Structure 1
Amino acid sequence: MSTLAIGASRVGYETKGYFRSLDTVFFTFLFPLIMLGIFTAAFSSSGDIGPEGAQISVGAYYLPGMLAAGVLLSGVQNLAVDIATEKSDGTLKRLGGTPLSPVSYFLGKIGQVFVTGILQAAVLLLVARVAFGIELPTEPARWMTFAWVFVLGLVTSALLGIALSAVPRSGKSATAVVVPIVLVLQFISGVYLQFSMLPEWMQNVASVFPLKWMAQGMRAAFLPDEFKALEQNGAWDLGWVALALVAWLVVGLVISRITFRWIRRDA
């Protein structure tokens, strides 16, 4: 079988393994949905938010951030912890003794991120519309924006997750290393807090990392145009969103290629 065929065949295997791990499903698949419900219930009593004349519900405002967080969790957190665990428990060592190539292994992992990420986004949008009454975009251009930000964000997050998996020294320490990084990024990137209310220095720090740009791209797709005045530069800057995500995609690809090994160098 070709490298691509083997990689495609592993997507189903990786996806089944993902949904069999209840803690992974909770902290990466259901977490954005739970947080959207909490924020909607907790802050809806304070009324709508946004610029005068273009105010929207709290749930509608937080939906783009939760979609971006879901992409990050599906790619970075899930793969970084999963691969570090497989490296620690000997799974990668056993795979290294088979004809499986690293490329096929990567394709299986990235394919799993795509499957679970699409399912997660679909469930999140469905619950947002049906349970919380959040109005979704009707213009095709906005859905096109969502589509390319979502796909580019998933690939970037998956490659960064593979790269980050080289940092934990064991499977037991993987969660302790990866989760704080992901959590801090969510707080400074406009997922849980309104980005315009953060200090300028914190906005500048967040701009270095991809989650800020994913969240901004999602807001461009789901929020009224009046909300772009609240962004750091007063615009959606979709060109910069694409450039930042592509740059991080390349970084993740290069680091993954350099650092990935079936067996740790110090093992």
Structure 2
Amino acid sequence: MRAKNSEWLTHEYFRTYRIANAVDTIMRDPFAYLRELEGLTVDDGIIDFLPHWQKDSALHKFIRFIADDIFMDDSHGPSRVPYGPDPVHPQWILPADLAMMNYGIIDEPLFFIPDDPSGGVPVNHPEGDGNTDPYFVQNACYHYLERLPLLQVYEDLMARIADEVFFVMFTNRRALASLNKFLSMYLDGFSPEYFTEEDKELTKLFAGEGELKRVRPPIWARRAVFYRDRGRCTGCRVNLSGLIDTFDVANYDHMIPLARGGLNDVTNLQLLCERCNKRKGDRIHIPSNHYRRWY
């Protein structure tokens, strides 16, 4: 779980748009990536998404999953960066170590890519055509990256990257709705009876089979959505900032309704006026892609 130390974010933009683009691409057609997404959804993976109004939102969780996969792909090569004072014969490191140094998480690399096969044991990777590294390099990189998620420094890296990509993607309501629609497939029809004794407490979250209880969005979630949507109904664009209660809970609509497997998650909210909210009801509508210009 991420710990919020400040309302301010220092943005380093390390692979931010590459990861955001990967998240958006997958959410546009998740069925084409079901095999890749198994690690997120199998073995009751949906349980991590169920608790109401987590600041570690569904999007944060999904970003970390995709970012980790991208870093793991570096084990095949040729993703590497030079390190050291000698520009002619540098040592080589993986982007994960460079990222951790950029964020100030570590002071020096934890791993150097080997330049000789000493101790290398071939694995079932085919010999490359020049676009992949030799076996012994792939082995060494893979085993390092396989162990890296066990370290706190890597968890800290994923938290920083998730915050940065979230900052970029939170304005994209259609991508957020696609993510929540994908997750709703696993929640829809999910019965609390499936829970093990260890997870029985989670039954309190449900109103019925496949439907979470309606829980009032906390002020931080309403504030985030209100300012993201610029205080206007995303349907008809009427100005809602003049209301007596700017953060009136009635104006916060679940893009994927709870009755359709939607989550009580900040990424599943949009700002609607009373008329548009009533018109939408418990149906799934594609969110508006109209956004107010900055200037």
Common topology (TM > 0.5) = no
Q: Which has the larger radius of gyration?
A: 2
Q: TM-score, normalised by structure 1?
A: 0.29
Q: Which has the higher strand share?
A: 2
Q: TM-score, normalised by structure 2?
A: 0.27
